[in-house]
Structures are given as structure tokens and as C-alpha cells.
């Protein structure tokens, strides 16, 4: 599924226009990106958690030459699926 398909489904489910659904989705994505880039955690109960994670510096290998290279430490976004999302993917029904 791509973004356009997601917008179409969201518009249908919420009974709103595709334009409004697109603006809403863009707003949610922008808010999550802004919060995580500031170091905050965004939790959507039942769906999952977006948070920044530190990745330590390490030594890697250039695949073309085989030479060792230093990869600097960085912060990357991390997503952890919530229990409801995991159960839905696994095909189990959640607790009511």
C-alpha cells in the first residue's frame, strides 16, 4: 500500500474528502517526525511507539574494496509495534 492508497482508505473510513484525509495524514506524519527529531517519544496506544535510538560508532567494511571504514555514532528513528498491532498481524483477536 502506498500513501495515496492509504489516504483513499482513510477518507472512506472517516467519511471525509481525500484532500482532507491527505492533509490530516501529512499533519500526523509531520508531528511524529518533529517530536522524534527533538528526542521525544510518540506512543499511539494499540498501534506502536516511535522513538529516537542511539546507534554506537562502529567499524564497517567497504564492500567494493574490502577496506575497513569508521561509521560514526548517530541517532536513528525506531518503531516498536504495540500489542494490538502485533495481534492483528498475527491473526489473533485482541482482548475485549
Is pLDDT above 80 for 93? no
Total domains in the chain come to 2
Task: With 0.85 as the threshold, say if the pTM is over it.
Answer: no
CB neighbours of residue 46 within 10 Å:
14
Is pLDDT above 70 for 3? yes
Same domain, 72 and 25: no
Is pLDDT above 70 for 95? no
Q: Domain residues for 70?
A: 41-96
* Helix, coil or strand: residue 1: coil
* Helix, coil or strand: residue 39: coil
Same domain, 45 and 61: yes
What CATH number did the domain enclosing 68 receive?
Answer: 4.10.520.10
Same domain, 23 and 59: no
Q: What angle do CA 49, 41, 27 make, to 5 degrees?
A: 80
Amino acid at each position: 500500500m502506498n500513501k495515496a492508497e492509504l489516504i483513499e482508505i482513510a477518507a472512506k473510513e472517516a467519511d471525509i474528502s481525500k484532500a482532507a484525509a491527505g492533509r490530516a495524514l501529512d499533519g500526523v506524519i509531520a508531528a511524529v517526525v518533529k517530536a522524534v527529531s527533538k528526542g521525544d517519544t510518540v506512543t499511539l496506544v494499540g498501534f506502536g511507539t516511535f522513538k529516537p535510538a542511539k546507534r554506537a560508532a562502529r567499524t564497517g567494511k567497504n564492500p567494493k574494496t574490502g577496506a575497513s571504514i569508521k561509521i560514526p555514532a548517530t541517532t536513528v528513528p525506531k518503531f516498536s509495534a504495540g500489542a494490538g498491532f502485533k495481534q492483528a498481524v498475527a491473526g489473533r483477536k485482541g482482548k475485549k
